[in-house]
Structure 1
């Protein structure tokens, strides 16, 4: 049931946060010499005016499709890692989260590649005159046909560099926050506290790895239409810094942080409500809960209602 709750909560988070992700991607990869957007708000306005509201949801099929697999991987790795480490401590939370983040990249990287390519398709057009990709699956199929497995896994190194510490920081921050604000049995504010902890954890983990995300996005967006600008990740970093300076590493950060808190809050709310409904309770009755891997632990003062493997976004 924890797995199902995590999947439903993750889907809700994707629906809420995808428009912000589209804006982030557009800002990260736009040409600095001829920028289409002046900032986050202008980007939102332009996409809606030029491409309609549906333009904000381009590429949503990819994260929706990959969600179940990502949750399955992270649940299993997180649970087994915590069981292997034995004690529920902040450091172990970081290590278990980092391990989960690294392994789920097998699904995350191709998923985000398709999402990025779809989000960039038809920029500034209400109805694309020529669509390179029909949908996310068609996008991956075409990339595989043209470039093989290496093409489908383009950006894997940057994804690993981003996801491993990102998940570790997320679980560590969530653990520290829930311990400090106190989620005690019978506390009437337990759900708002969990939402706050989840939202702040999402913000913190994005701040810790955001520069890597900029390079990952640029590297994965490169090659649309068969035209490549970067020879390697190092070349991407070198060209980006040379043209735009260090400010390049903060492109799209505003929309990312605006997205991080509500997405994690909505995800937590959904997970909590699904678990409460499934357990036939009106509110969390105890702080003893199952870990993602199925073990039970009582060392944590907070109810263990994590995102269930959804990438903090």
Structure 2
């Protein structure tokens, strides 16, 4: 496959220590992660609630009804339920995501003799795949705690006698550790890995390739691309991410919002979860919450990837 000229070529870059590169990738990723959380969390709350509401007696008739009832029952704060977990975890998750992506690109662009080469188109997708697998181990606990808090309202509305075992992320952490110890926060890790590796190959790979193609078309360097072009590439990458793996995300949400007590779980594994969800509603069951998710994909990822891209350029 022909090489795609990368304007930030490894050969042209000034020498920098591994620690300095990690720090730059981590800082840029953290800033981008905070931006995407503030923009996208309300959409995520709606998505998770639609994905996990009961099939027999659903609480919400659709995305708009979910937003209306959330505002009615919980106010604006309801749309940000569980936001503490992703905000607190952005430093670790985004540091892993973008430092792994940067390291993967550098590794793929280094020959066996230590010389560097221009990355080929496929290399960007390979780097995204590696990145997604690595980042799953930091993203899974963040998603788990966020999801557990987001669905408390579903359980209380479905059962008036239900008493929430925890109302904050801190309470949820304590309860999880009591039941399952250190492995508790990794409930749903297998589904996160199954989602993240291929999804990030498409997401980050397409973002990089679209920027390269746009720069070649405009006759400029990637760093000189306008904000609308970079944001369009980020938004497109986000949409492709969800189009590729949404059913897997539904499985992940079911596993992560299941009981934290292993003895009471309905969804202990990916195969058993897939069978149970199929029995609830066939193929359509795997696309609950798709509309708010796809509406979120373009603006949230456009903001995040643009922020990260520009921060990396500013940091050199």
For residues 217-296 of structure 1, what are the structure 2 equivalents within 5 Å?
217-223=253-259, 227-271=264-308, 274=311, 278=314
For residues 200 and 273 of structure 1, what CA distance do their matches in structure 2 show? 17
Contact 1:13 1:264 in 2 (8 A): yes
Which of 209, 212, 226 lines up with 1:179 in the alignment?
Answer: 212
For residues 146-225 of structure 1, what are the structure 2 equivalents within 5 Å?
146-182=179-215, 184-185=220-221, 190-223=226-259
Contact 1:50 1:125 in 2 (8 A): no
CA shift in 2, pair 1:186/1:265, >3 Å: closer
For residues 44 and 223 of structure 2, what CA distance do their matches in structure 1 show? 34
Aligned equivalent of 1:106: 137
For residues 63 and 40 of structure 1, what CA distance do their matches in structure 2 show? 22
Length-normalised TM-score, structure 2: 0.80
* Alignment partner of 1:119 is 2:150: yes
Deviation at 1:107, TM superposition (A): 1.2
* Alignment partner of 1:21 is 2:58: no
Write 1 or 2 for the structure with the bigger share of helix. Answer: 2
Contact 2:258 2:265 in 1 (8 A): yes
For residues 47 and 230 of structure 1, what CA distance do their matches in structure 2 show? 26
CA shift in 2, pair 1:185/1:108, >3 Å: closer
Tell me the secondary structure at the aligned position of residue 122 of structure 1. helix
For residues 134 and 68 of structure 2, what CA distance do their matches in structure 1 show? 37
Contact 2:149 2:169 in 1 (8 A): yes
Q: Which runs of 5+ in 2 are unaligned?
A: 1-23, 110-117
Aligned equivalent of 1:7: 30
Deviation at 1:5, TM superposition (A): 2.9
Deviation at 1:140, TM superposition (A): 2.2
Contact 1:51 1:125 in 2 (8 A): no
For residues 239 and 233 of structure 2, what CA distance do their matches in structure 1 show? 10
Aligned equivalent of 1:77: 100
Contact 2:176 2:260 in 1 (8 A): no
For residues 34-73 of structure 1, what are the structure 2 equivalents within 5 Å?
34-73=57-96
For residues 175 and 92 of structure 1, what CA distance do their matches in structure 2 show? 10
Q: Which runs of 5+ in 1 are unaligned?
A: 280-289, 291-313
Deviation at 1:80, TM superposition (A): 2.3
